[in-house]
Amino acid sequence: MAKKTTKDTFENKLLRLEEIAQLLEGDEVGLEDAITLYQEGIELSRNCITTLKDAELRITQLKKNLDTLTKEEEKFIEE
């Protein structure tokens, strides 16, 4: 399976979310920067949730396809 070479992977987004959380928990970020980081975190969270929902739908469809294939194979074997 080919890996994405861009920085825009699900895993990198999670890492950035962790980084944002650590920055917001610290004392070194000013109010305006904190708001900007919070906004970025919300956007990343939404994106990750969408990615997970899409993955869940794909897996559900794959399972349905497998079930259909298995039922067709069973019919073939019974004949």
Tell me the domain boundaries of the chain.
12-78
Between the alpha carbon of residue 52 and those of residues 21, 55, 61, 65, 71, the distances in Å are 20, 5, 14, 20, 29
Is the pLDDT assigned to residue 2 strictly greater than 60? no
Q: Could you tell me the end-to-end alpha-carbon distance of the chain, in angstroms, rounded to an integer?
A: 37
- The two structure tokens encoding residue 53: 């929902």
Q: Are 54 and 46 in contact (CB under 8 A)?
A: no
- The two structure tokens encoding residue 67: 């079930």
Overall average pLDDT of the 45-72 stretch: 92
pLDDT tens-digit profile of 34-54? 999 999 999 999 999 999 999
Nearest residue to 39 via CA among 56, 8, 55, 16: 16
